[in-house]
Chains A and B, each alone.
Chain A
Amino acid sequence: GAGVSQSPRYKVAKRGQDVALRCDPISGHVSLFWYQQALGQGPEFLTYFQNEAQLDKSGLPSDRFFAERPEGSVSTLKIQRTQQEDSAVYLCASSPLVGMNTEAFFGQGTRLTVV
């Protein structure tokens, strides 16, 4: 596609439910990032993939959060046993080169609401 696509755009989950958020990066982009943006805050780094390798997961807030990119393209962010504090917009970004020191293209995000 023309840009980074994220699905679903909106997700309401009951507390304790597992969720999976999908990111389709721009075709051929090496780097893929996940960020969490709480209401009224800037995005906070979650994890980084270079192709299929997860090189940095230092931002994942707990072991309930898991991300994968098995074939180096589509990525999924999974949150197990969701809690209210997980409510946020989850942003995916991709970049054609290694790291983020070139332009990164962001998706529109998935707004997760945990009730």
Chain B
Amino acid sequence: AQSVTQPDIHITVSEGASLELRCNYSYGATPYLFWYVQSPGQGLQLLLKYFSGDTLVQGIKGFEAEFKRSQSSFNLRKPSVHWSDAAEYFCAVGRVSGTYKYIFGTGTRLKVLA
């Protein structure tokens, strides 16, 4: 069955440090891949998406992600974290077996130290 794994439940970084959040997926074909961010009490906001083409994708708020087919990964990166980036981040897979659903990972909660 298709699945999404985010191995890090919590990550703490200092403001200004670089960030990488991991995401691995299990899917037979090349899926549609997404990263969403959820701030407390807020809905999910799309950071970036990958469908095809260039495997390095730029998103909003200075985030980028790289699709690596050989590793079934879609890791999210940011070169310099801001305190306002503290939130929960979800990786998701779309186009699952011809359905309309997304499958979300369990999320990574990011804490930023001043």
Contacts and interface: CB of A to CB of B under 8 A. Distances in A.
Same complex for A and B? Answer yes
Interface of A: 3-4, 31, 33, 35, 40-45, 48, 55-56, 58-59, 91, 93, 99-101, 103-109
A57 B102 CA distance: 13
A99 B101 CA distance: 8
B101 A103 contact: no
A105 B41 CA distance: 15
Interface stretch (B14-22, B42-50, B62-70, B79-87): B42-50
A48 B45 contact: no
Contacts of A91: 43-44
A106 B101 contact: no
A43 B90 contact: yes
26 contacts: A4-B43, A33-B102, A35-B104, A40-B107, A42-B4, A42-B92, A42-B104, A42-B106, A42-B107, A43-B90, A43-B104, A44-B104, A56-B100, A56-B101, A91-B43, A91-B44, A93-B43, A100-B94, A100-B100, A101-B32, A103-B49, A104-B46, A106-B43, A106-B45, A108-B41, A108-B42
Contacts of A41: 106-107
B44 A43 contact: yes
- Chain A interface, DSSP helix/strand/loop, else mixed: loop
B100 A55 contact: yes
Interface band, chain B: 20 to 34
Interface of B: 4, 32, 36, 41-46, 49, 51, 90, 92, 94-95, 99-107
B105 A42 contact: yes
Contacts of B103: 45
Contacts of A101: 32, 51, 94-95
A107 B43 contact: yes
Given A40-B106, A101-B51, A101-B95, A106 B100 contact: no
A6 to B, nearest CB: 8
A106 B84 CA distance: 20
